[in-house]
Structure 1
């Protein structure tokens, strides 16, 4: 057992029953509650970028609900105030009402950092149009008669399981039906207490049928333990926090799933030293060792259509987007070059730079990052003006300032749209994989992953294969209350700040800048609409129990028959000559430091020629064409 596995095993051994855990809760005073409601009102009324959209689409009024809650608290005393669980429930319901997984009330101690879990995982598969619910994993060491992976769950606390999922889905935020359904299923067995109130029941009774056809019942208590901490501190003034696009719930659950079922993938740091990183191409079915096991899993997979590369991207929640991209490039370089499956299912997002930097590696075309907008309010203008011309050296909100001033004068709802991701970073290294690519998504793809999927589709990189009807539809940059407070207090304290310290380690998050799509769908918001896949695959029993077998077969069918091009470029140090090795490319144009230098016809797979000035150029870019269409590119940065 590795050190990480031992640490995770200890966390589970230290888990306590839900009812015992709840005895430690209930420390907020009436004054604390009033502060929380007042601060929630500031965020929702003055910072929340999606407020007009949510009021229109979902017929909700969170501002009025907060005012009413504040009024009720003003009439209460310490003796007459509601139980604390009821306060947490109501404030959480107000945040959940806008169906925005970026906009959360984060519960205080002792809930922060904890998860509630049952020792098994349930997933959905289909036979035709009929859904089935099956246990796919159990926590190591847990056992019950006739219970384990493969048993089908029919009832949940006496309620038919399909109905139980639907009822649970109504309690949790999600911008569309697919997202709500997915989260309703997931939260049956795993809930981050940072963003969800504890389960109502102390235990759950499931009715299940195994291979012998006998119906049995299992009663299991909810247990509470410490979750694995994230790599990124979203409250800290940093580029990673400022460019955050993350569904905290999915991220918390992703870390908890690793702790419960894949403890060997848990790492204490974003990247780890791996002494035996191979430079050999992947063997079929074998994982390629990675320095970021909590972020990537790469392997070669055999399908009936051929052998292709398959890389899971579990999260974009990293501090170093450049290092993230470099490891992705290293991994895909060791996979088959005739087709690549990029699988982002269950990825709740993270660093927006990381998601948009990744796109360039898969296409010869320049990447246009998504523009973002603030909602035009006096408070948002104050924040932007305070960080105009980059006074802190860490953040520059200058591009939004003038349009925000004009919007307040003209009663426009939003500022102008400007990118968070720097254009040069989004195109710094260019295309690295020249074979066809297919992207796999689901309804748990959110935020920076929505942005990645939108960019993949908008830049026509390849087909999008969805196991759900839509992605999670989270189209925003998210900031925490603590980060907003810090921004308004820099470069010096501001006595007029509306942000007050939150009690008891509580926090809040809010969608601060909305994202818009580019190219054919330019100006379309991502929020609530999401990214509809080009092709749909319903998960099968073989998928959920045998490593996505049918899903990967479907992805292989989409890759089969598409051209697997090649364009390698090498500059000879001595002579300065350029050698190109290509396939399915008939012309190459060479650019030195952004200026065109020459164009050559490629009549052979390998050609060598002289390029005047190539020896002193810092950036050499080769663009490959087929019958006049740009189909491949290679960038050499020296």
Structure 2
């Protein structure tokens, strides 16, 4: 088992690694600026919605003397408020996580937020479990989180605050800079009416090796999943670290659809990215399915695994929980919608390109041909975006369809493919949406890695060179649109609203979502068989 005292002090890295040399800085600015200007699907919306000009900011950074280059570059990326579009720093930061060895979670009592220590990692015991934290380095904890929230990539305030709490004690250094302090002092209520304090330094360790977002390959060999990604990689990295820490540093549950069965205290079973079981409601037991990620290379197998699980659970009522789900394969999320739609053929959120000469050329690739005609007409129509098409085939689904009424549980960390899923769930009238926040994370895009973009662009005569060695870039290439009565509204920055909000209680935090599931079960018991959006 990993001991936190054996991991290096983060302070030891200060001054040990220099900013990249001038040629690397220039290449990073040039490549990112070219990608944003010519391919980035949200550029007009981000300029209008957040009053920013990232292209000009990159021009100024390229012409600067390089002082604080990495900080300024990551700040430009963060200003997009787009958790899809991420720059991954080169080693040694690529697989490194900065952490303090505990986790804080938030609950509400009479509308007032409270923050308690719910987990400790790697043998750390200096702060008692369950204590309420009042200050972080002398700053009231709520105020500290508000300040941290402004530096996140959240599209709205709820998402910014959730992200700030998510990365309060765990910070993947591939995507964010080191904390400014060398140690953390927590002040907490000691349970006897007084206050106590404890200090611990920031430490760092290497994460388990992460698979590349998509390896370099020819277009013919490129799997469908490489072009159908919708994923917040920083949130995925945070979750991977927390799962590994919970297992004592021995490696957590894998992200595939298989995996060992692990029972929890509540009687739920965890299998790969799923947790499932029964929840009592006033109308009888309901099925419960939590999906931690939609990340999979095989969407059909993912859907088949869920169908097999649902078939073993109550068929009258179903709670689907996608809180803190960072997304994954868009095809997997949309195939699940079809499993829940009864005998209907659901409308799936379509996606479109921004109209530019580069996307016009890109869509001459056979698999992107449906978008080409409308982009080619841009010179005469003046439209900024192409036609929108669904990318999900329903030909390979299992025969099973869930027959009962349903409710979906979301929060502001439900992102990307989870946003797609929540939008399709709502727009097809599949059930009611219960939120522990008012909105999903508002990530409405299909994201491509630099390798996918450069491979496909190279095929059509637009050579895009590699990034500097060790760096990675993921970019929103196609945006998602709502269907039904919300047809045409983008998901990006808007999100999917909850019909009912339940603020998490102390019992939810300490006793496996006890009040949330009771609340959701009661709501579901009162719902008609199909909720009409």
Distance 2:195 2:227 in 1: 52
Match of 2:232 in 1: 247
Alpha-carbon contact 1:232-1:318 (below 8 Å) kept? no
Match of 2:42 in 1: 50
What is the correspondence of 1:245-324 to structure 2 with a 5 Å cutoff?
A: 245-262=230-247, 266-267=252-253, 270-272=256-258, 274=260, 285-288=266-269, 290=271, 293=272, 295-303=273-281, 306-324=284-302
Distance 1:490 1:59 in 2: 35
**Is the partner of 2:151 in helix, strand or coil?**
coil
Distance 1:482 1:21 in 2: 30
Higher relative contact order (CA 8 A, sep 6+): 2
Tell me the TM-score normalised to structure 2 length: 0.93
Alpha-carbon contact 2:79-2:153 (below 8 Å) kept? yes
Match of 2:354 in 1: 375
Pick the aligned partner of 1:111 from 87, 93, 98: 93
Q: Summarize deviations over 1:55-106 as a string: whole Å, max 9, x none.
A: 111111111111111122xxx4xxxx42xxx111100000111111111121
Match of 1:594 in 2: none
Distance 1:205 1:370, change over 3 A: same
Distance 1:289 1:33 in 2: 45
Asked if 1:545 corresponds to 2:510, the answer is yes
Alpha-carbon contact 1:24-1:110 (below 8 Å) kept? no
What is the correspondence of 1:196-207 to structure 2 with a 5 Å cutoff?
A: 196-207=176-187
RMSD value over aligned CA atoms? Answer: 2.4
Tell me the TM-score normalised to structure 1 length: 0.78
Match of 1:509 in 2: 474
Distance 2:517 2:259 in 1: 31
Q: CA deviation at 1:337?
A: 2.3
Distance 1:283 1:55, change over 3 A: closer
Q: CA deviation at 1:473?
A: 0.1
Match of 2:319 in 1: 341
Structure 1 gap segments, 5+ residues each: 1-8, 390-395, 566-628, 631-638
Match of 2:129 in 1: 149
Distance 2:410 2:392 in 1: 22
Distance 1:232 1:29 in 2: 25
Alpha-carbon contact 1:372-1:516 (below 8 Å) kept? yes
Distance 1:196 1:248 in 2: 12
Distance 2:264 2:341 in 1: 25
Match of 2:54 in 1: 62
Asked if 1:181 corresponds to 2:178, the answer is no
Q: CA deviation at 1:564?
A: 6.9
Match of 1:392 in 2: none
Asked if 1:481 corresponds to 2:445, the answer is no
Alpha-carbon contact 1:15-1:223 (below 8 Å) kept? yes
Pick the aligned partner of 1:446 from 410, 415, 429: 415
Alpha-carbon contact 2:4-2:122 (below 8 Å) kept? no
Q: CA deviation at 1:210?
A: 3.2
Q: CA deviation at 1:336?
A: 2.2
Match of 2:441 in 1: 472
What is the correspondence of 1:325-340 to structure 2 with a 5 Å cutoff?
A: 325-340=303-318
Match of 1:139 in 2: 121
Alpha-carbon contact 2:419-2:442 (below 8 Å) kept? yes
Match of 2:172 in 1: 192
Asked if 1:463 corresponds to 2:432, the answer is yes
- Which one has the largest radius of gyration? 1
Distance 2:231 2:393 in 1: 19
Distance 1:489 1:97 in 2: 29
Alpha-carbon contact 1:232-1:317 (below 8 Å) kept? no
Alpha-carbon contact 1:370-1:517 (below 8 Å) kept? yes
Distance 2:295 2:278 in 1: 25
**Is the partner of 2:280 in helix, strand or coil?**
strand
Distance 2:122 2:281 in 1: 31
Distance 1:244 1:406 in 2: 27
Number of aligned positions between the proteins: 525
**Is the partner of 2:363 in helix, strand or coil?**
helix
